[in-house]
Amino acid sequence: MNDVLDVALRLIAVFAVFLVLPLVVGQAEHKVMAHMQGRLGPMHAGGFHGWAQLVADGVKFAQKEDVVPADADRRIFQLAPAVALLPYLLVLVAIPIGPGRGAVGQTVDAGVFFVLAVLGVGVLGSLMAGWASANKFSLLGGLRTAAQLLAYELPMLLAVASVAMAAGTVSIPGILHAFEWWWLPWQIVGALVFFVAGLAELQRPPFDMPVADSEIIFGAYTEYTGLRFALFLLAEYVGIVVLCALTTVLFLGGWHGPYGADGLGWVWTLLKVAVLAFVVIWLRVSYPRLREDQLQRLAWTVLIPLALAQIALTGIVKVAIN
């Protein structure tokens, strides 16, 4: 009975994180973008600096009519948001925020592979949405999504392989336990490659060609309304949280910090995630959208060679240490 309670508590905690952190990131995006552009952003909903703006947005989405286009493939169209969102929930289960057994939803032996595998499934949601909408813009969005995923999956994998080599394990808590401060300069190239490739997989600006609103309306999500559309948006923001958390635990040392207080490891993790999320928002405001050929060129001629060089470097240093 105790075990059941334990599992239930962990799942509830993960679900709470799944619901709260994306909203925090979304609200931060509203405000940070606004201030970077010399505006105030939402100020009314909820009173204090518009803190309830996203709650209001959610209520608005829930009230809207759920429309399925007449020519669409109904079941796949309706299933797609769930396929896009659920993998992120699963991934959150495996990310530790502190040392010790209490700070991770579930320790997975091959955690790194679990995380990457499940993240890859989420893109199927966008593809299903793009195809099933019976809309040219959606189909184009789906095509671009698939091309982008195929290009950026490889550098992401290679960067993670490098850090797994350095730690000698593919378990995420194992990697964190093996972490030393000098891994930061050692793995910095891999970290950059991972972060950039992750941004591209999330289709965040400047890699938002698949949803480029000035060309193809909103890509694969053009035909969606109401709650299903909100689920896709939620998936994007959970994706930001997951990407930042993964970069933190794989490359930035997760709960390790200069003032390594034992009980406060989770504060370090959350702090690093928050800083990375800020960078994600900052990039959105700062850079114009990359064209499709620029996207492909960046992946195949810059990120993959860099990731391979990082693996070589990791191997050399690893052999030299031993």
Partner 1 sequence: MSVAATAASATAAAGPGFLSPSGVEIAFLLVGLVTFGAALVTVTTRQLVHAALWLVVTLGGLAVEYLLLTAEFIAWVQVLIYVGSVVVLLLFGLMLTKAPIGRSPDADSGNRPVASAVAVAAAAALVWVVVDAFRTTWIDLGGPAQGSTEVSGRFLFRNWVLPFEALSVLLLAALVGAIVLSRKNGAARADGNAAGGSGKEQR
CB of 49 or CB of 297, closer to partner 1: 297
> Does the footprint of partner 1 cover residue 202 (CB under 8 A)?
no
Size of the site for partner 1 (CB under 8 A): 40
> Does the footprint of partner 1 cover residue 293 (CB under 8 A)?
yes
Q: List the structure tokens of 141.
A: 């969005």
Q: CB under 8 Å to 221, separation ≥6 — which residues? A: 126, 129, 138, 141, 211, 229, 232
- 75: Cα within 13 Å, side-chain hemisphere: 0
CB of 34 or CB of 124, closer to partner 1: 124
Binding flags for partner 1, 85-104, as an x/- string (CB under 8 A)? --------------------
In angstroms, the CA 172 to CA 164 distance is 9
> Does the footprint of partner 1 cover residue 3 (CB under 8 A)?
no
Alpha helices for the chain (secondary structure H): 2-36, 53-63, 74-93, 111-132, 136-167, 172-177, 183-186, 188-202, 213-216, 226-251, 265-286, 292-297, 304-321
From 106, 107, 225, 296, residue interacting with partner 1 (rule: CB under 8 A): 296
Phi-psi region at 258: left, alpha or beta (left = phi > 0; alpha = psi -120 to 50): alpha
From 72, 129, 175, 235, residue interacting with partner 1 (rule: CB under 8 A): 72
> Does the footprint of partner 1 cover residue 52 (CB under 8 A)?
no
From 58, 73, 78, 266, residue interacting with partner 1 (rule: CB under 8 A): 73
> Does the footprint of partner 1 cover residue 124 (CB under 8 A)?
yes
Instruction: Note whether 269 and 187 are within 8 A (CB).
Output: no
From 32, 89, 146, 235, residue interacting with partner 1 (rule: CB under 8 A): 146
Q: List the structure tokens of 132.
A: 């099933």
Q: Which of 250, 257, 57 is nearest to 157 (CA)?
A: 250
From 56, 134, 192, 227, residue interacting with partner 1 (rule: CB under 8 A): 134
> Does the footprint of partner 1 cover residue 118 (CB under 8 A)?
yes
From 25, 32, 52, 127, residue interacting with partner 1 (rule: CB under 8 A): 127
Least distance CB 142 / partner 1 (angstroms): 6
Instruction: Note whether 241 and 273 are within 8 A (CB).
Output: yes
CB of 98 or CB of 130, closer to partner 1: 130
**H/E stretch holding 105:** none
Q: Which residues bind partner 1 (CB under 8 A)?
A: 71-73, 76, 108-110, 113-114, 116-121, 123-124, 127-128, 130-132, 134, 139, 142-143, 146-147, 149-151, 153-154, 157, 169-171, 293, 296, 300
